[in-house]
Chain A
Amino acid sequence: MRTKAITRLLFTVGVITWLTLVFTDISVLFSSVNNIKPDIPTWLPGIILNLFILSIFYYYKLKIERDDVLNFVDLLWRVFATGLVATVVSLALRLAENLLGSTKLTTHVVFKDLIYMINLGLMVGFLLMAFTVWKRLILYQKSKWLLRLWAFFEVGILLTLLYNSFKIPLVEWVYATLLSIFVVVGLVLSGNMKWVAYLNFRQKWTSLLLLLLTIFYLLYFVFTNSSLAADIHAAHSTFTDYRIHIFILSLIVFVTIYSVFSFLVILFNLPTTSVFEQKLEEVVNFQRISQSIQTEQSEDSVYNILLETSVSTVFADAAWLEINSSKSKIFTYKIKETEAHDIIEHLKSHNVKGVLDQGSDKTRNLSKHLASLKGSRFRSILAFPIYVKGDNIGTLALLKELPEGFNKEMTKIVSTFANQAGISVENFRLMEEALQNERYKEELKIAKTVQKSLLPEVLEKDDDFEIAAFSESADEVGGDYYDTTRINDHLVSIIIADVSGKGTTAAFHMSQMKGIFHSLAQQQIEPDEFMIRANQALIYCLERGSFISATYFVINTKTKKIRYARAGHCPVLYFCAVKKSHEYFKDRGIALGMVRNKSYSNFIQACEFEYKPNDLMVLYTDGITEAKDNKGDEFGYDRLAQVVDEAKDQTPKEIQDHLIKKLYAFSGTENINDDYTTMIVKFK
């Protein structure tokens, strides 16, 4: 907003100073022609001219230099348009002058001076516009020294305004030296034409036209103004003569030189434009391949982009991309699949190795072999293998109808494309894998919640006993199982089981165990019979090498007796309140699934004991006794008994919390590398 206001202000100042310049110069000239002493000092017009120059200079500086939207052609267009307007105005004046004819007025020196002043103003405006634009073009790709040189040039010519302002007596050699310095610097600066390379073919033609017209306008103004100045000078010398104004002269020389240079450079660059454009396209294509992974949905898109970009880069007449995944796929461009297969077969049958041969990593120009294929329109072939993680996943083949149609340059570029495509496909696969893993993790999370729901939320309660249980898995899902169920008003059964192994398979077997428990327990059978039937059922479910250890209890609150069978599970830890002692019940019994025939009944037995108030029964899985500390020692049976003993007078929940706390303290971590479960039954 502020810049806008300043720009407007500068423009207004420019117009005002110009009007003042016209007025003062004419009045000085008029006085001098009529031999009257002028009312205003004769040096004033010179200063006003410089003020005019300064305001227009900063006006363009703000307007053009800061505008980032303008491209090169836009900039040239601005210069051209300014020149056009100025020339049209100037020509209109000439026309008016001609229409008036050779009257006293038109030949009068004051009238001439007015025309001259208008032309001078237009020319200065045009020159400053060109100067500002040239500055942008020169500094398009700047270096430190270039910036310094430019600063020197700009500040230097602005300083000459001072020199001109104070009518310092004209010394021929100072004048010549200054002018020649600026001409030389202008020449050096004019060597900076890097922007030309970034124009495309059409833009170059437009620029040529614009520059040509700009040069024409420049010449027109120089010619018009110098003839006008010469005319006035012939009549009288007390007017503002630009021909001794170093700033304007330097500007004319610099702007003209740069215009001519640009014109010539663009002209000579025209034939090579296509090469530069092609290189640029290669870079863009390369980026397309490397970025395809972020934007494209499938490997196929990567292959399609590779095919497209390779074809357009080397101007191939046809191409195909053969992918040898599980089922071979072929992408073609301007060639039928059958034709491609014919060529592949042909090369194979002629035992040509190195290009289509998947085992080889060589890329060669196989043109000569195509000559022997009858009916083929192609005379050149170039092929590249595509590698993903060292595996050759496919071949890219490019074809041309011309013999020897591919050069080394093209070979290199397409090889880079093929490599990049390989990387893109690899990235794509990695990303797919990561996504897949993420999906698996999500599935496992679901499995975890499902499995958690398999463990009972509420355990059976009775006036005779209270139970607390805790279970945790090493992986998302585990193979430990515990449960309770009431058979009738005085019978309650309890189970604890541990499936061999851990993770998903164990979790499946655990859910089978739950089914078996709930269906068999309700049949009110003896514990050993329970195990025999469970074993029979599990034979058909457990794979070779898998087994389930379990202990099954039936608590009879009427007789205050417990009958149980242990199938290879960790021995029960029992605390007797009366004797104040504890004991591990190590009865015989083989884990379920170990003996896969009817003889299992020989390996299992039912036992019985009586419970009394405050007795404590601790059930657990081997995850607890086999938990290790950092030295590799196991938690073990003795430590288990001792830890429970410390809290045996408390409620089952409190005993359990104490046990888990001690277990974590022992192993030094809460991530024990096994599934672990405890179930604590306290009798009342």
Chain B
Amino acid sequence: MIHIKRLQEDGADVIALVGEIDASSSIELDLAIAKSVGEGFTKILVDCSALEYISSAGLGVFMSYIEEFKDRNISMVLFGMSERVLNTFSILGLNELLKIGKDKGEAKQLIS
């Protein structure tokens, strides 16, 4: 189960993920990002501080946007990951493809 909250801060869209992302809830994550892009945001911050678990399907969602974001000049930064979640990202090598910040402050620096 995942709960997704969105709020805008300094022209960036902050998407907060609360709970777990598995195969079924990854669709919600996909929808949330697509909506943010659709609304014309070019700066997307993903708050992972309350994200307890992410499955490969959830990682696939982030992965699927990498090229599109590069083409459309949209930058996305993830931040606040627990060690466990970060490990999942880094084993797959996604930490090399995505920008990941420690906290919101670092994330904001990375995005601008």
Contacts and interface: CB of A to CB of B under 8 A. Distances in A.
Nearest to B61: A545
What are the nearest 5 A-B pairs in CB distance? A590-B93, A545-B60, A500-B56, A568-B92, A545-B64
A570 B30 CA distance: 25
A568 B57 contact: no
Interface stretch (A132-140, A302-310, A591-599): A591-599
Interface string B64-101: 10110000000000000000100000111110110000
Interface of A: 498, 500-502, 544-547, 549, 567-571, 586, 588-591, 594-597, 603, 622, 634
A501 B63 contact: no
A225 to B, nearest CB: 95
Contact of A547 (B23, B60, B84, B90): B60
B59 interface: yes
Given A500-B59, A500-B60, A568 B93 contact: yes
30 contacts: A500-B59, A500-B60, A501-B56, A544-B64, A545-B30, A545-B57, A547-B56, A547-B60, A549-B56, A549-B91, A568-B91, A568-B93, A568-B94, A570-B91, A586-B90, A586-B91, A589-B93, A590-B93, A590-B97, A591-B93, A591-B94, A594-B66, A594-B93, A594-B97, A595-B66, A595-B97, A596-B67, A597-B67, A603-B96, A603-B97
A546 B93 contact: no
Given A500-B60, A595-B66, A597-B67, 19 more contacts: A500-B57, A501-B23, A501-B56, A502-B23, A545-B61, A547-B56, A547-B92, A549-B56, A549-B91, A568-B91, A568-B92, A568-B94, A586-B91, A590-B93, A590-B94, A591-B94, A594-B93, A595-B97, A603-B97
Nearest to A634: B84
A500 B90 CA distance: 15
Nearest to A479: B56
B61 to A, nearest CB: 6
Contact of A591 (B23, B30, B92): B92
B78 to A, nearest CB: 15
Contacts of A569: 91
Contact of B92 (A502, A545, A590, A634): A590
Main SS at interface, chain A: loop
Contact of A571 (B64, B66, B91, B94): B91
Given A500-B57, A545-B61, A546-B60, A588 B96 contact: yes
A529 B84 CA distance: 30
A207 to B, nearest CB: 72
Contacts of A546: 60
Contact of A590 (B23, B56, B64, B96): B96
Contacts of B60: 500-501, 545-547
A589 B91 CA distance: 8
A142 B59 CA distance: 77
B63 A547 contact: yes
B39 to A, nearest CB: 21
A603 B93 contact: yes
A590 B90 CA distance: 9
A653 to B, nearest CB: 27
Contacts of A596: 67
Contacts of A586: 90-91
A672 B2 CA distance: 21
Interface string B34-63: 000000000000000000000011011101
A599 to B, nearest CB: 10
Contacts of B61: 545
Contacts of B63: 545, 547, 594
Given A501-B23, A545-B61, A594 B92 contact: yes
A595 B66 CA distance: 9
A88 to B, nearest CB: 91
Contacts of B23: 501-502
A501 to B, nearest CB: 5
Contacts of B92: 547, 549, 568, 590-591, 594
A634 B94 CA distance: 21
Contacts of A547: 56, 59-60, 63, 92
Contacts of B64: 544-545
Select the residue from B56, B66, B84, B96 with max chain A CB neighbours within 10 A: B56
Nearest to A498: B56
B103 to A, nearest CB: 24
A603 B60 CA distance: 17
Contacts of B93: 567-568, 588-591, 594, 603
A547 B59 CA distance: 9
Nearest to B93: A590
Select the residue from B57, B66, B92, B97 with max chain A CB neighbours within 10 A: B92
Contacts of A571: 91
Nearest to A544: B64
Contacts of A591: 92-94
A549 B91 CA distance: 9
A420 B85 CA distance: 56
A450 B60 CA distance: 27
A568 B97 CA distance: 12
A228 B60 CA distance: 114
A544 B96 CA distance: 19
A341 B82 CA distance: 68
A595 B92 CA distance: 12
Select the residue from B30, B64, B66 with max chain A CB neighbours within 10 A: B64
Contacts of B90: 586
Contacts of A595: 66, 97
A502 B61 CA distance: 15
A546 B56 CA distance: 8
A396 B90 CA distance: 65
B109 to A, nearest CB: 24
Nearest to B57: A501
Select the residue from B60, B66, B96 with max chain A CB neighbours within 10 A: B60
A568 B92 CA distance: 4
A631 to B, nearest CB: 13
A392 B91 CA distance: 54
A600 to B, nearest CB: 10
A636 to B, nearest CB: 9
A567 B56 CA distance: 14
A594 B94 contact: yes
Nearest to A594: B63
Contacts of A590: 92-94, 96-97
Nearest to A604: B93
Select the residue from B30, B92, B93 with max chain A CB neighbours within 10 A: B93
A147 B56 CA distance: 79
Nearest to A636: B84
Contacts of B84: 634
B79 to A, nearest CB: 21
Nearest to A570: B91
Contacts of A545: 30, 57, 60-61, 63-64
